[in-house]
Amino acid sequence: MPASSDGAAADEVPGGIAVPDAVRAAARSAFATRDVGAHLLEVVSDSLDEAVAETGRTVRFAGPGLAITLATDDERLAVELSPAPSQAASVSLETPAAPALQAEPDEPGRWTLRPVPTGPVRLALSDTGLRARTAWIRL
């Protein structure tokens, strides 16, 4: 096994703990899909953090002049963008292990994805002169 600069094996983290192949693959995928020119939208609220029992989940992301609301239930994932973008805007859902899923536009500023994936996901928005990505969340 090749050694890192500190002498640890490349497949291990400090302390000698082996890194599972799936974790390494996810890390490589995250770097491969990064877009350094895109705005990062951070989670500002998540219904999982609230004590109210509800079906589905609502996550709100925000960044400079832009907000995205993601709502899920067992059948669909709905995305709403504020302020409403141009008609040329597109939204896709990215996962570490699969190609991006393109959302179907419902009306200006709203999209739907089916089926709802599980695991780590993030949204990618592209509009005239604007690219944005949400922080990764787990569905």
Same-domain status, 2 and 59: no
Same-domain status, 23 and 45: no
In angstroms, the CA 45 to CA 74 distance is 20
Q: What are phi and psi of 79, to 5 degrees?
A: -125, 130
| Tens of pLDDT, residues 38-89 | 678 999 999 988 766 567 899 999 998 889 999 998 889 999 999 988 888 8
| Tens of pLDDT, residues 121-137 | 999 998 878 888 999 99
pLDDT of 59: 95
123: number of Cβ within 10 Å: 25
Which CATH number belongs to the domain containing residue 113 in this structure?
Answer: 2.60.40.760
33: number of Cβ within 10 Å: 14
In angstroms, the CA 23 to CA 36 distance is 22
pLDDT of 77: 92
pLDDT of 16: 73
Angle at 134 between CA 129 and CA 137, to 5 degrees: 165
| Tens of pLDDT, residues 24-48 | 776 666 555 555 566 789 999 999 8
Same-domain status, 106 and 43: yes
Q: Contact, 123 vs 136, CB < 8 A?
A: no
Same-domain status, 13 and 48: no
pLDDT of 4: 43
